[in-house]
Structures are given as structure tokens and as C-alpha cells.
Chains A and B, each alone.
Chain A
């Protein structure tokens, strides 16, 4: 990616690099729409999916992206690997590299795992989500989806609703949207708003009706039941009542507001089924665009230029 070797987060990436990825993803999306979805761009390159957390959609999306570009793909999941035998991350990473890989895509439950990897191996590292830190390809696919639908990002009002505290998607989104000139609001229960989140430049709300007023884009985050046991909210019923997006609330946003969700959804809790399936919802397109954006990232990192 011109100078960059890794994609760890959107906090430390500049606008030109984001634009390059999004523009490249446009071309990739065209490839995905062909009847034969395969180009030889990364033939002979090896890409390793190193997943320390269960994941279906992100892992599959990266795997498809790599395969459409003709790279060889290795999938390693923590439950079926040497991790179970007590090997530390550093040794696992070095072992994978010693076998020869060009890109390591890592998903890890702990923040900073992808950063660490960059100091230990020479291969490119793509962060596929590390704890509550970042999930940059999700942030990029959200940017891509909004740009595709709205034409621009600059000047849009984007609202993120839900468990901001534990959300890596929210952090990547905040950085990405702010860099591209959008205004960002976050909204959630006071117990799930991380300390000093306003210092990022995002506006902070605890009232969803106020937050989504005149919004161009509403991103609903998944609420996880175990947060209730940790005392972060009283009940799903009350959460849905205070923070769920339904038809009535959606009418507070702009008429053509987009509704997004990184998935998997809890229908009837953070988002009503009616809204999720409405014409304003672009949730399925997010998934399609995810493959194109990940193709772009892999192409730019894995030296597609000299292929």
C-alpha cells in the first residue's frame, strides 16, 4: 500500500490511503460481479487467516477475497492449533512466517495483538479485529458502502448506537468517518460509553432520539447478552426500549437515511426486523462490499503491483 506494510487500524492511516483502498475496492467489486469471479493477481502468494476468536463472516470474507485474487489461503483457528498446546503468539506467528506466508490476517480477543505481530514478523499484517481496539476492514467497508450510496462522505451526519465500550467496529468507524469529513455521534447507555470518547471528536449521546435526529446514516451495534450479567444494563427488554431502532425512531432521521449493522443482528433487540429488512437497510450490501474491500486491502498489501 504505497508505503504501508500493514493494516492495523484506521487511527493511524491517512485520508489518501483510505481513498486508495476505496477506489481500488470499486474495481474489485466489478470483479466480484462477474460470472467468473477470479483474477490471477495474487497467484503464488500465500495468505494466512490466523483466528483466535470464532468468526464466520469475517474469516469467510477474507478467504473469499484472497481466493478471488488467486492467492493460496491457510486457515488457522485457535481451537485446532498449537495455541491449545500452550504456544505463545510470538512463536505461532514466527512459525507461520517460517513456512512462508506473505500476509497474516489476525483476529484476536485481545487488543494490540495485531500491533505486536508487526514487530515480530516480516510478513504483512492485517488486523481482522483485536479486542475492543479496531476492526479496520469493517470500518473501510462501511466507508465504501456509504460512499457508494451517498456519493460523498464529507458533511454527512453518521450515528453509531450501542455498546461503544466493547466495540472495535465503533472505534474504526469513528476514525474513518472523521478523517473523511463526516460528523460522528455515538450513542449508548452511560455504562457502555468508554471514558473520554468525546476527545476523539465524536459527539456523545445517551438518548437515541436526540442522537439520530437528521442523521444520514445510522449504524446499530450488536448487544451481547453477557454484558447484562456484567451489570452493564438491566435487561434486553429495557435496552431495546431505550436504544433499539424501530420504524418510529427511524423517522427522526433524514428520509433517505441508511441503516447499517456489522452483524450478526439481534432482531427485535437493537434493531427491529422491519427496519432491518426495509429499503433503507444496506446490511446485506455491507457483506458484499466487505469482500471487495478486503480484496483491495490484500491486493495493495501483497504486492499486487508487480504481479
Chain B
């Protein structure tokens, strides 16, 4: 089946340009990019007034399958991705069993082929069981299809293990993604340590818990030559450390989440467990620094850290609730509302942080809007506004602190491999 997207404004970070063109899709590829295309037998999609982007890539999502299917499955998580405008996602290995061996990677890829709505790129564990003790079979994980290594959800606490992991990952030319958290400092903390943790009487997670590990990892990455990617940067100090490392020429990249560039620890007041996330929501100064880091290129990627949880798991005492925000279905609207419409990022820069940059880090041939490329496309309507209503999420996780917020810039069409996987229906 052929699709013809007519009249849209194309944003191509690959070519660093924004232009008007029609897009003809055939056989799962972008066949022609040109003005005033007419083709017999194609389904015509009117994209007048809309933005046509290379399919968005989420570098950091949790699909929960295998093991936690009450919170999400590969089927529901990829449906949520499609609704959120993502055509590809990388999923973290903290499933049960942990994706620390090739058979779990093979299972995820098989399930994704059978039931997935979007492309799934699994991330393998750094250490066996993500316990931080022994290296996982990284080469085997890579051969099975893993695109990166991470023990996300946990930090590799032991510096020597992290050093070896980076040496080994470097050997096979793979990136290491670290969840930076010194657990001796975060020690059962539930939210950012600051005025609000004091008011609420909740144990705080100091900014230093993140920053000391980032500092360590930057040193180890420099020594090993490993490509290091810092997950979910949340503090001003972290942004500064990464900026300095990049100035020195280190091969480091970093991501920020929509919740960390939008919300502060004040959100936790009232003990709203949907605002319980790790790293925690920080202060306004930190939010401002993350925004500045996105603006000046210190932070390369916007990723969701989509972390869905079954309702009953979050309907408990704040200390007992798991960390995480179900973020796939609000990410684009937040990027547009909070970063593009405020002038912090140009549309081109925003799209780059969700397409070419994550594709480059993961080494996948995605995120390109050109003839011959895979027909993964996202159409967003920059004029469309919508109130966030988690009850309407297709993700099983309704844990989202943006409920009730008006967002502008909503995905209206998602195409994966030339097939429409999501169409906005109000």
C-alpha cells in the first residue's frame, strides 16, 4: 500500500533543514520526497499545517515484559509509544528475568516482531542480574541484538566493575548507559532532598547522589575511551559536569526527561506518588539548568524513562510506592509546550534530540527523513491542544503527574515501516 502525505512541513535534523514537501511512501520506504506529488492508488493524508518528522526514537523506556506484565507488556508499551509519536524505542533490561543473556534479548525481539507496534531495540544488562557484581556476556548480548548496555534502575556501584565494563564495551564498540546514583547517599530516599522533603518528612535524595557517580563515570570513560551515555540528568551540578567533560572532548552524551525539564519537587506535596520518580524531581534551579543544557547541546537526547506501574502499586504509602512515570504519551506535547513554544529549543533542535541523536548513540539506521530511508514518520499538529488524561492512556501505567495539564503540539499520526500504527481520533 502506498501512502502520500501532502502539504506538510518537513523537519529534517539530518539535513538540518525545514522545508515543504510531499512524502510518498511505498514498500515500507520513503519513495519520493518532492513538491506537488500526485500518485494513483496512494492513500492521501492531508498534512497541511502539520509537521512531518522522521519517526521519533525513545532511547529510554521500560516495557516491563518479561516479568511485570501487570504493569506493561511489549504490546501495550509499543501502542503507547505509537500514540506518543514514537516509531522506535530502546527498552531497559530490568525485567524479570533481567535481559543479561541473549535468550531474553531474543525473546523481547520475537515478542516485538509479533505484537509490537513500533521498532523495539533492547538494551542488555551490564552485569549479571544487574547486581553490579559480574559482567554480563556483552558480546553475546550484542550478537543477539542489544544496542547498548545498562543496569538502569540500579547504578553500577562498584567502580572497578564499571571500569571493566567500560573497557569491555569499548572493545566491542558499544555504548554504556549509566543510571547515576550513589546508593549510600540516596539510601532509601523517596524524593529530592530540599525544602519539600523537609516539609513532607520524607527521606531526601541529595543532588550529590547523582553527581558523584557522574563525576566517577566521566573519569572512567576518559580512561577507557568507552562511549558513555548518562541517563536522566536531573541536577544543575550534573549538567555542569557533563558540559565540562564535553569541553575536554570526552565521548559522553546525556539525556533528560520531560518531567525533569518541567516539574520540581514541589509536585510531591500532597504525597502524589505519580510524582515519585528516580532520579527525583529537583528544584527550579535544576530544571532551569537542564533546560539550559538542552539548549546549549550539553544534553543530546530527550528520552521518556517511561516507567509504567500497575495502579495498585502506586496507591500505597509514598515510601512504599515504586519510582517511575508513565511518560510515552505526554513526551511530545511536553517538548513542544515547554521547550519549543517557549523558545528554548528550535523545532529542528527538539526533533534532533528525539531522532538523529538517539539513533547515533544507539548505532541504529533510524531518524532520517530522506528518499530510501525506512518509512518511519511522525506527524504532529503544533496547533492542537489537549488536556492530559491518564485514563485515556493506552499504556497500562496511568502513573503520570501531568494529569489535567494542557499541552500544545500533539502527535496525530505515527507510521512505522510504511504502516499507520496510530491516528489521532480526538
- A positions within 8 Å CB-CB of B: 11, 88-90, 108, 110-113, 115-116, 130-134, 168, 171, 194-197, 199-200
Contacts and interface: CB of A to CB of B under 8 A. Distances in A.
Given A115-B270, A116-B271, A196-B195, A130 B201 contact: yes
A133 B319 CA distance: 12
Nearest to A108: B317
A132 B196 CA distance: 12
B198 A196 contact: yes
A195 B195 contact: yes
A133 B201 contact: yes
Nearest to A88: B316
Contacts of A111: 200-202, 271, 318-319
B315 A90 contact: yes
Contacts of B193: 195
A197 B203 CA distance: 14
B200 A133 contact: yes
Q: Taking chain A's interface residues, is the majority helix, strand, or loop, or is none over half, making it mixed? A: mixed
A110 B320 contact: yes
A194 B199 CA distance: 9
B312 interface: yes
B194 A116 contact: no
B317 A195 contact: no
Contacts of B202: 111-112, 131-133
Nearest to A112: B271
B367 interface: no
Contacts of B78: none
A200 B198 CA distance: 9
Interface in B188-229: 193-195, 197-204
Contacts of A113: 317
A112 B317 contact: yes
A110 B318 contact: yes
Contacts of B316: 88-90
B201 A195 contact: no
A196 B200 CA distance: 12
A11 B199 contact: yes
Interface string B303-315: 0000000001001
A195 B319 CA distance: 19
A187 to B, nearest CB: 16
Contacts of B271: 111-112, 115-116
A268 B320 CA distance: 36
Interface string B268-295: 0011000000000000000000000000
Closest 5 CB pairs of A and B: A133-B201, A112-B271, A132-B201, A196-B195, A111-B201
A199 B197 CA distance: 12
A195 B320 contact: no
